């Protein structure tokens, strides 16, 4: 299947220093709640995620409607928690949830392969 995110067509990005990557605070969180987001331009959920006692509970908008609500609640996700807040259709998104892209742009969420405590750093 081809599409805008087809890895056979997508060029590599330019090299960056390790300090640029390590400046991003990537943490493991657990999805606590999922709400519809009908105001969004593209189909999306509002996710509430627990990132542990230091980072706390944060909310985001995510175009992951390929997952049902019951597939998301309780699931561990990886988030970039220090990119600042962004307003999306009147909703304040506080972090970026990470996923891999299928060739057609469908997001497949990243998650650790073992249960980790909320707030665990990603190395």
pTM value is: 0.92
* Nearest Cα residue to 77 out of 23, 20, 26, 5: 26
Residue 27, SS3 per DSSP: strand
pLDDT for the residue numbered 9: 86
Length of the chain: 123
Hey, which bits of the chain come out as E strands? Answer: 26-36, 45-50, 57-62, 76-80, 86-88, 91-93, 96-97, 99-101, 107-109
For 36, the token pair is 């519809």
CA 116/CA 32 separation, integer angstroms: 15
Percentage, residues of the chain above pLDDT 70 = 99
pLDDT in tens, 91-100: 999 999 999 9
Q: How many CB atoms lie within 10 A of CB 72?
A: 19
* Nearest Cα residue to 9 out of 109, 120, 103: 103
Measured CA distances, 47 to 1, 8, 67 (Å): 29, 32, 12
pLDDT in tens, 36-80: 999 999 999 999 999 999 999 999 999 999 999 999 999 999 999
CATH architecture of 22-109: Beta Barrel (2.40)
């Amino acid at each position: 299947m081809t599409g805008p995110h087809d890895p056979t067509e997508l060029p590599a990005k330019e090299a960056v220093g390790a300090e640029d990557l390590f400046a991003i605070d990537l943490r493991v969180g657990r999805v606590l709640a999922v709400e519809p987001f009908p105001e969004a331009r593209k189909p999306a959920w509002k996710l509430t995620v627990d990132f542990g006692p230091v980072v706390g509970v944060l909310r985001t908008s995510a175009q992951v409607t390929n997952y049902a609500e019951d597939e998301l609640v309780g699931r561990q996700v990886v988030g970039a928690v220090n990119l600042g807040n962004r307003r999306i259709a009147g909703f304040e998104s506080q972090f970026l949830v990470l996923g891999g892209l299928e060739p057609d742009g469908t997001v497949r969420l990243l998650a650790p392969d073992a249960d980790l405590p909320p707030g665990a750093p990603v190395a």
